[in-house]
Structure 1
Amino acid sequence: MSDKPQTAPVSDSPAHFPGPIRWLARIEIWAGTVFFWLIFFGVMWQVLGRYVPAIAWVGAGEVARLSMVALTFITAGYLIGKNGHIVIEVFDAILQGKRLFTVLRVFAAVVMVITCIALAWESLLMIEQGWRRVTTVLHMPIAVLYVFAFIGFTSGAIHSIAKIFAANRPEPKLDISEMEG
């Protein structure tokens, strides 16, 4: 036995979040990875098409652009849940360990819930209107992009609600290595 005092390890993983929230985060990472690869292949196809005109396809650029928009929206909830969004950390250092710290976290999460619900509602309204307009090359309805926005902002609201109930626990940190596979 060692003379060092035994302390419980502090984990940055969101183990205190319910299973469905952890599964939602896994699905968002998976979907984000798919869209990332679509961006990559769309851009690479464009580059190859410049040098081999026989395989040039105008839709490759549109696939890459639309995938970038979808990636941005679909990972919004994940980034909110993992604190990958912009945060003012000055208050964290000043209020650490005080009751007001938990109040500040709850307030920030409530603001995020309200914001995400408002954006999800607007996305829903845009989905209703966007079926008539289509993209130039693929002729995909613009409403599909707003479906991704709706999913992302709804997910952000869910993650923020979970953060309200976990405000007095250590927050998970965004760990880039977990995105590597």
Structure 2
Amino acid sequence: MASQTRRARSRPARLLAAVTAVELGLAGLLTGVIFVAVLIQAFQRHLPFEGLTWTGELSRFALVWLTFLAAGVLVTRDGHIALQLVDTLKSERAVRGFHVLAHLLVAVIAGLFAWQCWSLIPSSSILTSPSLGMSMSLHYVLPLVGFVSTALRSAAAATVVAREGVPAAQESDALAIKVNREVQS
């Protein structure tokens, strides 16, 4: 019975680790795209003929995609923007309440952004980007994935904090908030 419970608990952890690995892999790929596109831009400034205009557009799109795609991972690893002033409050109950509220607000806002991305995908199909000629509906796919991931991870983080408080986590994929406790070495 205990091994079944351990296996059942490890399934969500394995799924979270797999989703995180995919998101980080895509983020790494997009970072490489930005690097190569900007490098090409810098190199072609020294050429006697007109360069490739799409490199600047691709690097800008990749930066937008990278930003929104990595947001969910940052929420899970507590690497997103936080109000650390709240963490210094004496009342753990108040700190817990603020953290739950913050995670719920992030979840709602990310959900609304995901909804907007979802509505922009079909309505932007007639538009294309100037240099790449890419359908602008494709431009909203990766931000949609990132916003859905952020909303789900924020809702899960709010649930964890509401149930267990604001613990200092040891795992890299766990909610890692250190509140009202000294870090033990």
Superposed pair shares fold, TM > 0.5: yes
SS in 2 for 1:114: helix
Distance, in Å, in 2 between the alignment partners of 1:76 and 1:146 is 15
Q: What is residue 82 of structure 2 aligned with on the other side?
A: 87
Q: CA deviation at 1:67?
A: 0.9
2:76 and 2:90 mapped to 1: Cα distance?
A: 21
Pick from 33, 42, 57 the counterpart of residue 28 of structure 2.
33
Gaps of 5+ in 1: 1-14, 174-181
Q: 1:107 to 1:67 in 2, by over 3 A?
A: same
TM-score (norm 1): 0.78
Say which of 97, 100, 107 aligns to 1:113.
Answer: 107
TM-fit CA distance, 1:99: 2.6
What is the CA-CA distance between 1:68 and the residue it aligns to? Answer: 1.1
* Greater RCO (Cα-Cα under 8 Å, separation 6 or more): 1
Give deviations 1:105-161, integer Å, cap 9, x for gaps.
222111111111111001111112111100111110111121111111001011112
% same residue? 24
> What is the deviation of 1:91?
1.0
Letter in 2 for 1:172: A
Q: Secondary structure at the match of 2:131?
A: coil
- Structure 2 residue runs of 5 or longer lacking an equivalent are 1-9, 169-174, 178-185
Q: How many pairs align?
A: 157
RMSD, aligned CA? 2.0
Q: Which amino acid aligns with 1:23?
A: A
Q: Is the 8 A contact 1:127 1:144 kept in 2?
A: yes
1:42 is the counterpart of 2:46: no
**C-alpha distance 95-128 of structure 1, shift in aligned 2 (>3 A):** farther
Residue equivalent to 1:172: 176
The amino acid of 1:94's aligned partner reads: L
Q: Which residue of 1 aligns with 2:138?
A: 144
Q: 1 CA distance for matches of 2:131 and 2:142? A: 20
The partner residue of 2:94 within 100, 107, 110 is 100
- Name the amino acid aligned to 1:57: L
Aligned-pair distance for 1:87? 1.0
- Following TM superposition, the consecutive aligned residue runs of length 4 or more in structure 1 with deviations greater than 6 angstroms are none
Secondary structure of the structure 2 residue equivalent to 1:139: coil
For the 8 Å contact 1:48–1:55, the answer to whether it is kept is no
**Is the contact made by 1:48 and 1:56 (CA closer than 8 Å) also made in structure 2?**
no
Aligned equivalents of 1:86, 1:166: Cα separation in 2: 18
The answer to whether residue 123 in structure 2 is matched with residue 129 in structure 1 is yes
TM-score by length of 2: 0.77
- Between the aligned partners of 1:60 and 1:76, the Cα distance in structure 2 is 25
Identify which of 122, 128, 152 aligns with 1:158. 152
Judged with a 3 Å threshold, the aligned counterparts in structure 2 of structure 1 residues 95 and 157 are, in CA distance, closer, same or farther, namely farther
- CA 1:95 to 1:148, structure 2 compared with 1: closer, same or farther past 3 Å? farther
